């Protein structure tokens, strides 16, 4: 059976590691990106050099028409999407009194509406086949509050709620929907915190280190694949024991 994966926000960080991992699993991979076309092309070349099949597509996941166009392009190139990994997201530290209306809207548009847009784009073929897997990427701050990250945390809580509800809704059609909640992962997104803060976060993690994008990629590959065929509606926390 042909396996085709769409990974949003895949040019860097967690999405990049997921694309590599799924390509090794034999998936044809679509690398979605918004700004870093150079990194997307670099990753595509790397995967193809290793014998994989890949394509890149620029789309803002907050734009439903762009997402539908992306889904159509993937289907035309590789066939129906069998695995959606909704990874694209934005984060930042900001106190609630400083949150501007445009910021509030953009966070929810990308982190929550973006997931909805991608699900709607891939769902018709999954429903027709009565098969498919969807994995959202939330955060440990989507399971617990986070000081100065109330906006980000709110979107990630909403994402988990949407994931669990969709799992119930789509289970009769044979479609599984799960979530991975990363802890502190060593990506560009967290490097802005500075080395001192990152060292403190590593010390606060029982396993004694920050997570790697590859740690999340392994969790995604498991939940997205047949070894997890009886798992749906779950949130897999990958945080080195950070939340205890």
Q: What residues act catalytically?
A: 152
Which residue do the tokens 């909403």 mark? Answer: 158
CB 221 within 8 A of CB 214: no
Contacts of 139 (CB under 8 A, 6+ apart): 91, 152, 153, 156, 181, 182
CB 103 within 8 A of CB 121: no
Angle at 22 between CA 56 and CA 69, to 5 degrees: 35
Rounded distance between C-alpha atoms, residue 142 and residue 55, angstroms: 31
Nearest to 238, CA basis, from 140, 97, 110, 148: 140
Going by the DSSP 8-state scheme, the letter that residue 212 receives in this structure is -
Rounded distance between C-alpha atoms, residue 73 and residue 126, angstroms: 16
CB 9 within 8 A of CB 84: no
Terminal C-alpha separation, the chain? 40
Going by the DSSP 8-state scheme, the letter that residue 113 receives in this structure is I
Dihedral of alpha carbons 91, 93, 95, 101, sign = negative
């Amino acid at each position: 059976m042909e396996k085709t994966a769409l990974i949003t926000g895949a040019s860097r960080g967690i999405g990049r590691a997921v694309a590599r991992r799924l390509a090794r699993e034999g998936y044809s991979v679509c690398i979605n990106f918004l700004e870093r076309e150079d990194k997307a092309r670099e990753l595509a070349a790397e995967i193809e050099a290793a014998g994989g099949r890949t394509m890149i597509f620029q789309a803002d996941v907050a734009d439903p028409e762009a997402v539908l166009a992306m889904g159509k392009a993937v289907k035309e190139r590789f066939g129906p999407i069998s695995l959606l990994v909704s990874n694209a997201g934005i984060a930042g530290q900001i106190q609630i009194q400083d949150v501007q209306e445009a910021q509030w809207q953009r966070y929810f548009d990308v982190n929550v509406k973006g997931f909805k847009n991608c699900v709607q784009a891939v769902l018709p073929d999954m429903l027709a086949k009565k098969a498919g897997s969807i994995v959202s990427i939330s955060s440990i701050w989507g399971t617990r509050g986070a000081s100065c990250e109330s906006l980000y945390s709110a979107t990630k809580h909403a994402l988990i709620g949407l994931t669990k509800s969709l799992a119930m809704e789509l289970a009769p059609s044979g479609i599984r929907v799960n979530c991975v909640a990363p802890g502190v992962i060593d990506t560009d997104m967290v490097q802005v915190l500075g080395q001192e803060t990152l060292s403190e976060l590593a010390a606060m993690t029982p396993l004694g280190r920050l997570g790697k994008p590859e740690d999340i990629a392994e969790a995604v590959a498991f939940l997205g694949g047949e070894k997890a065929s009886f798992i749906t509606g779950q949130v897999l926390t990958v945080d080195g024991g950070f939340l205890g």
